[in-house]
Amino acid sequence: METALAKPRLGLIGFGAFGRLTARHLSPWFDIHAHDPAATDADGHATLTDLAVAAACPTVILAVPVEALAASLTEIHPHLRPDALVIDVGSVKVKPARLMEDLLPPGVRIVGTHPLFGPQSGKAGIAGLRIAVCEVRAKRDARRVAAFCRRALALKVFQVSPEDHDREAATVQGLTHLIARLLLAMEPLPTRMTTASFDRLMQAVDMVRHDSPAVFRAIERDNPFAAEVRNRFFALADAARGDLDGG
Amino acid sequence: METALAKPRLGLIGFGAFGRLTARHLSPWFDIHAHDPAATDADGHATLTDLAVAAACPTVILAVPVEALAASLTEIHPHLRPDALVIDVGSVKVKPARLMEDLLPPGVRIVGTHPLFGPQSGKAGIAGLRIAVCEVRAKRDARRVAAFCRRALALKVFQVSPEDHDREAATVQGLTHLIARLLLAMEPLPTRMTTASFDRLMQAVDMVRHDSPAVFRAIERDNPFAAEVRNRFFALADAARGDLDGG
């Protein structure tokens, strides 16, 4: 009990699949107060609470869909401590960084993060997995968050600008989710006479199969570089179609 | 030496990447005589020889591209033993089965196989990997080949008709190679802030990256069901493009 009382309080806004994963890995270090109107149980890693209580913690993590971020920021605004540290975990970084800077009070410190894993890929543990950390307001805080991720969570940390993140994620996530969406639409797919390369392809699909439509929308629509990447993919598909039909 | 002399002779027509993989795994059981005008060394698993010598072995394996199969069959025809067992290893099965039945002498026994692996996916050993075995002429021979693959090579064996094979391979290989071709055309791709699912996707690509263009052509053009599968993929890509651009 003494250890628990000694832990700093952390507010978690959003307790969906990713919020729960966050609580599971941060609960050894923080006393987590989670708010989510849709949540009915706390998995033993957090205490479910009111928005006002969660938002008043010294550190507040926003684990909400990118498309719900602006509304969440407005909601937590009146409850935030003047020097709170606010962190988002969205799949894109340019848009959340801009929203947080625009909508949060001036004294509030802001760090953007993108854990490059999810409930599926992090199922067996997150040590060795990757996270992007973006400085938004105050360099020192981004460095502290990066150091925590590295030391406490054993993550591989990439400190990058929101722009550099989104440019790279447009390819990494944009292509993965687009290809997965096409393959999921073709199911049922063979499971019997498969090749090792097809098995890898389907493992990739399985890792994003249960991601919410909101994750797909964030990756494809809220990343300013996603359209360029997928248009290139579609153009190459058209060219391949022409080659194969014609030759 | 005595063991070597006791081994039955096997003719291998074609000593490219897949022919070499074949020789490596069959040389403990067979005295392999390989013919390939383009080959200059035998890797220690075979003796390079004339077409006439290789084609006169009791068992003859054709490890040539599907598009070169008809020419190879015509070439080996005059040298075959009346009761030879001829086996192909092509990525499609309907077309090779028909060609072998049409072009080989009546007494010759014929089995179609498709090892569902290649030099990349079989690099660390082939035990546990998959092979399709198709009866073409004489059920007994297909059963014997299947039993050998299972017992001697520890492969997972699927005894199927050429049609059933091609229908399933149209999806498994057609999609894998098509997606790999599109991703290869987009290189250089990120290697730094990647996700586990993107890593799997690229592992799939790496396994077929060095496959010859002839393999791609066999999979996409010589499989009677490939056009249907890829047209479905392209139609879904068009629909996704419409959704993403429109919404």
Q: Provide the shortest C-alpha distance from residue A2 to chain B (in Å).
A: 38
Chain centroid to CA A76: how far? 19
Cβ of A193 within 8 Å of Cβ of B227? The answer is no
User: Are residue B68 and residue B148 in the same domain, yes or no?
Assistant: yes
Average pLDDT, chain A: 95
Q: Which of A168, A182, A193 sits opposite B172 (nearest CB)?
A: A193
Does a structural domain hold residue A247? Answer: no
Cβ of A208 within 8 Å of Cβ of B197? The answer is yes
Using the 3D structure, point to which of A120, A145, A161 is the last residue of a domain.
Answer: A161
Q: How confident is the model at residue B44, as a pLDDT?
A: 93
Confidence band, pLDDT 50/70/90 cuts, at residue A1: very low
Is some CB atom of chain B closer than 8 A to the CB atom of A196?
yes
User: Are residue A121 and residue A77 in the same domain, yes or no?
Assistant: yes
CB-defined contacts A:B, below 8 A: 156
Residue A76 confidence (pLDDT) above 60: yes
User: Are residue B146 and residue B172 in the same domain, yes or no?
Assistant: no
Rounded to an integer, the average pLDDT of A105-122 is: 96
User: Are residue B106 and residue B219 in the same domain, yes or no?
Assistant: no
User: Are residue B111 and residue B97 in the same domain, yes or no?
Assistant: yes
Q: How confident is the model at residue A246, as a pLDDT?
A: 79
Angstrom distance (rounded) from CA B175 to CA B79: 39
ipTM value of the model?
A: 0.94
How many distinct structural domains can be found in chain A?
A: 2
Does a structural domain hold residue A223? Answer: yes
Is some CB atom of chain A closer than 8 A to the CB atom of B193?
yes
Does a structural domain hold residue A243? Answer: no
Q: How confident is the model at residue A43, as a pLDDT?
A: 86
Q: How confident is the model at residue B247, as a pLDDT?
A: 55
User: Are residue A39 and residue A145 in the same domain, yes or no?
Assistant: yes
Angstrom distance (rounded) from CA A195 to CA B115: 9
Is some CB atom of chain A closer than 8 A to the CB atom of B212?
no
User: Are residue B126 and residue B115 in the same domain, yes or no?
Assistant: yes
User: Are residue B21 and residue B66 in the same domain, yes or no?
Assistant: yes
Does a structural domain hold residue B244? Answer: no
Q: How confident is the model at residue B1, as a pLDDT?
A: 46
Cβ of A160 within 8 Å of Cβ of B193? The answer is yes
What percentage of chain A carries pLDDT values higher than 70?
98
Output the six-digit token pair for A97: 């960084």
Does a structural domain hold residue B246? Answer: no
User: Are residue A49 and residue A69 in the same domain, yes or no?
Assistant: yes
Q: Provide the shortest C-alpha distance from residue A83 to chain B (in Å).
A: 31
Query: How does B9-20 read in b/e, with b if 16+ C-beta sit within 10 Å?
Result: bbbbbbbbbbbb
* A245 or A7: which leads in pLDDT: A7
Rounded to an integer, the average pLDDT of A5-33 is: 95
Q: How confident is the model at residue A247, as a pLDDT?
A: 55
Confidence band, pLDDT 50/70/90 cuts, at residue A2: very low
Does a structural domain hold residue A242? Answer: no
User: Are residue A172 and residue A149 in the same domain, yes or no?
Assistant: no
CATH number at residue B117: 3.40.50.720
Contact residues on chain B for A207, CB-CB shorter than 8 A: 195-197, 200
Domain extent for B213: 164-238
- Regions in chain B scoring below 70 on pLDDT: 1-5, 247
B49, B70 Cβ separation under 8 angstroms: no
Question: Cβ–Cβ contacts within 10 Å for residue B150, how many?
Answer: 14
Residue A245 confidence (pLDDT) above 90: no
User: Are residue A91 and residue A142 in the same domain, yes or no?
Assistant: yes
